[in-house]
Amino acid sequence: MIPTIDWFLLLEATYGLIVLAVVLRVIYDSNSTSKTLAYLLLVILVPVVGILFYFSFGINYRKRKMYSKKLATDEIFLKNFENRMEKIKKSFTEKQFPLVESNRSMIRLLSNKNMENSPLLINNQAEILLNGEAFFPKLIADLKQAKHHIHLEYYIYENDEIGNQIKNILIDKVKAGVAVRFIYDDFGCRSIRKNIVVELREAGVEIFAFNKITWIALANRMNYRNHRKIVIIDGQISYTGGINISDRYVNAKKTTPALYWRDTHLRIFGDATYALQHIFLSDWNFCSKQSLTVNEDFFPLIDCDDCAKLPMQIVASGPDSQVPSILYSVVKAINDAKSEILFTTPYYIPDESLQQAMIMAAMSGKKVKILLPQVSDSKMVQWASQSYFEELLEAGVELYFYQKGFIHAKSFVTDSGVSSIGTCNLDHRSFDLNFEVNAIVYDTDFADQMREIFYADCEHAVRLNHKRWYKRTHWKRLQNSFLRLFSPLL
């Protein structure tokens, strides 16, 4: 008698072996305990979908060295460029900036070769720009003055009024002989793929998607996003910060308070533009498959003798980084603050090191204040974020919720005179998965401006009361705690 095959049992055993193999893969591939546990829960508790989710979003491309950042280099210019950097360093040593000396440990950390070797550059002027109504007029004026090249790199570029206005300027500049290169994130800029991208390309703008999305690799490439916002004009003027190219950032046209969009950007004139240019060229050579060389057209000697000496470091991080550079810079700033550190962020889903740094700073008597939006644009992210609040409140961290509209700024300032404006949120995605960039500034006057901006924003915010938060319902606590299990994946 031929034995019958129990196909259900066979299928169950096969699936069990697949789950075991995936579990071993998760353990082997991740160096983060919290992320490993989150993926294990997903794979084990959510049949089939959990495995598909892991292979779509969980592969660690940092280990695989997916992103090469080697620039073809003109050796003669590189030598001159290094000499130029050496002169800047000597100038700094002779001038002995007190604030730089007091933050020497931070500067050494960010200058480490494992941290992308971000040099300290002092010959800079910088202007803080609040919201689109301050940013876009400045950007448009600078774009119109471009003579050699314009480089843009954006996470979101919308097919709206401001997007088309800038598009037309770029087309005019190409006709005038200016080289225009544009990197756009294929996920964030999906609304312009079939219109503005086509028009710019046909007009002569060199434009490439960063890590273009295809159906075969859809989820993976959506997971590793280029969240940077960079503009470089003639290698001398640059912009970075939280503002994308979209009408939503221009509040002058809005009548509904709920639509108010609060953000912070930075305009730089000076040597720090070199660092942003290097990041752009690295990204460009990756996504365009070209080999642009380092030369004097991209890194011109900047006449900055009359510049206010503003010491600055540009810190980049992403799946291609050896270490989470921006996360390290944030934790270091918290540890080095003397008595006060002020954060503004639209999202707060920290890893353990950041959460513990916040708690330790508050328990040490430092004033730690975090400004968040009252209502997030993602409920799941907001609920996961809330799971961290009670620990912070118990330690003495002050949490404020912006009520005038949506606060999208990504910045911090400490009483040690260290400030940051950039693209990086205080969450797992920004620290580990996205390509990000922050400008770190060492200057008392600049820090005072940042501090004034923070407290001006707090006038439109309410502080979270610890006793009230502690009394939230059991259902709310369960909801927060459950989503915290998956917070490394959000």
Q: State the catalytic residues.
A: 227, 229, 234, 408, 410, 415
As a whole number of angstroms, the distance between CA 18 and CA 50 comes to 12
Overall size of the chain counted in residues: 490
Ranges of H-type helices in 213-337: 218-223, 272-288, 325-336
Q: Are 479 and 376 in contact (CB under 8 A)?
A: no
- For residue 145, report the phi and psi dihedrals to the nearest 5 degrees: -90, -5
DSSP per residue over 306-370, as a string? TS-EEEEEEEEESTT-SS-HHHHHHHHHHHH-SSEEEEE-S-EE--HHHHHHHHHHHHTT-EEEE
Rg (C-alpha) for the chain, rounded Å, is 24
CA dist 69 and 85 (Å) reads 21
Q: In the numeric block, which tokens belong to residue 82?
A: 């290094």
Tokens encoding 252:
């002058």
CA distance 435 to 324: 11
Written as six digits, the tokens of 137 are 């007029």
Q: Do 183 and 284 meet the contact criterion of CB atoms below 8 Å apart? A: yes
What pairing do the DSSP bridges indicate for beta strands 237-241 and 264-270?
antiparallel
Cα–Cα dist 60/69, whole Å: 17
d(CA 242, CA 129): 10
CA dihedral 283, 284, 289, 293 (to 10 degrees): -110
Q: What whole-number distance in Å separates Cα of residue 442 and Cα of residue 424?
A: 19
Strand partners, 398: 369
Contact 140, 237 (CB under 8 A): no
